[in-house]
């Protein structure tokens, strides 16, 4: 096996929402693979930066770009600013996302727009801004990894805008792959299952819900952020160069049951 095919040495990757949870797991996995990370989001990423420094080599770096990702124009402009400051960006991981819960009969326009703006609209315009820089290179080459969801395939309940946004991410991944594969850009996605993060702490602390979820997962455990991170490294590395429009479930077998 050519292990260099899985290396990100010398490459710089943008990860949105890298302050905690899955985004942090992806950033640290990139660090273990030899890459540099630029974390993007509203919240401080000091914890991620500290953990990154503990595992990365002296030649690697973690930088942050603080902005409100609900502003898609600011998010798109960030691509140019980061590219101009740090040099060509090898890949982008559209991970940042939010969720709002309510019965569909009572769902508000504000909760619809807030989720769709960050989860889908900003993800598209970040991808567009990134692709414009990549295709202008003498030898275009770039990678985009979108974070989808089990709800890209299933309906769920009480999360209308989240389900719509993640179903949209699945379709968008395929569309961009069709348009950009011949332009040197790989666009793929990961669909995480139930992962141990702050967002799922309440579920894990509820004995009945925790048991029901684990009973559905063939692997018999919750996933860890590093499980998603390692899959992201694969989709960012040379090993996945012939993958376009793929959506990889990392779910412990949830969808197989």
- Number of residues in the chain: 257
- Give me the long-range contacts of 178-181 (CB less than 8 A, separation at least 24): 178/244, 178/245, 180/131, 180/135, 181/244, 181/245
Q: How many helices (H) and strands (E) does the chain have?
A: 9, 7
Q: How many angstroms separate the Cα of 257 from the Cα of each of 151, 152, 191, 192, 243? A: 15, 16, 16, 15, 25
C-alpha–C-alpha distance, residues 12 and 1, integer Å: 24
Global pTM value: 0.96
DSSP bridge pairs for 91: 13, 143
3-state secondary structure of 6: helix
**Domain with 23 in it: what CATH number?**
3.40.50.720
Which positions are catalytic?
162
C-alpha–C-alpha distance, residues 63 and 75, integer Å: 16
**The pair of three-digit structure tokens given for residue 203, joined into one six-digit string:** 């579920």
- How many structural domains compose the chain? 1
**The pair of three-digit structure tokens given for residue 240, joined into one six-digit string:** 């996945």
Domain encompassing residue 178: 3-256
- DSSP letter, residue 86: H
3-state secondary structure of 94: strand
DSSP bridge pairs for 94: 146
Torsion region of 73: left, alpha or beta (phi above 0 gives left; psi -120 to 50 gives alpha): alpha
The values of phi and psi at residue 142, to 5°, are -160, 165
Walk along the chain (257 residues) and give the pLDDT tens digit of each residue.
Answer: 566 999 999 999 999 999 999 999 999 999 999 999 999 999 999 999 999 999 999 999 999 999 999 999 999 999 999 999 999 999 999 999 999 999 999 999 999 999 999 999 999 999 999 999 999 999 999 999 999 999 999 999 999 999 999 999 999 999 999 999 999 999 999 999 999 998 788 889 999 999 999 999 999 999 999 999 999 999 999 999 999 999 999 999 999 99
**Cβ–Cβ under 8 Å, residues 6 and 29:** no
- What is the pLDDT, as a whole number, of residue 198? 84
- What is the pLDDT, as a whole number, of residue 203? 83
C-alpha–C-alpha distance, residues 165 and 116, integer Å: 6
DSSP bridge pairs for 13: 37, 91
- What is the pLDDT, as a whole number, of residue 230? 98
**CA neighbor of 134 nearest in space, from 182, 64, 205:** 182
C-alpha–C-alpha distance, residues 79 and 89, integer Å: 9
**The pair of three-digit structure tokens given for residue 166, joined into one six-digit string:** 């993640």
């Amino acid at each position: 096996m050519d292990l260099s095919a899985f290396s990100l040495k010398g490459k710089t990757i943008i990860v949105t929402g890298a302050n905690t949870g899955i985004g942090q797991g992806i950033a640290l996995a990139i660090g273990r693979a030899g890459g540099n990370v630029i974390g993007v989001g509203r919240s401080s990423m000091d914890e991620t930066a500290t953990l990154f420094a503990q595992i990365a080599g002296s030649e690697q770096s973690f930088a942050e770009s603080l902005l409100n990702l609900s502003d898609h124009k600011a998010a798109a402009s960030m691509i140019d600013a980061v590219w101009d400051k740090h040099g060509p960006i090898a890949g982008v991981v559209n991970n940042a996302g939010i969720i709002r819960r309510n019965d569909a009969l009572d769902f508000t326009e504000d909760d619809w727009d807030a989720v769709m703006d960050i989860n889908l609209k900003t993800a598209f315009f970040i991808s567009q801004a990134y692709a414009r820089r990549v295709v202008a290179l003498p030898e275009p080459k770039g990678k985009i990894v979108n974070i989808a969801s089990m709800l890209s395939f299933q309906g769920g309940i009480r999360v209308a805008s989240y389900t719509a946004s993640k179903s949209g991410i699945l379709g968008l991944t395929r569309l961009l792959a069709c348009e950009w594969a011949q332009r040197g850009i790989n666009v793929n996605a990961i669909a995480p299952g139930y992962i141990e993060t702050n967002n799922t702490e309440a579920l894990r602390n509820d004995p009945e819900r925790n048991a029901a979820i684990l009973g559905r997962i063939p692997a018999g455990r919750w996933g860890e952020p590093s499980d998603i991170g390692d899959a992201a490294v694969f989709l960012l590395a040379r090993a996945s160069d012939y993958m376009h429009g793929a959506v990889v479930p990392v779910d412990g077998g949830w969808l197989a049951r």
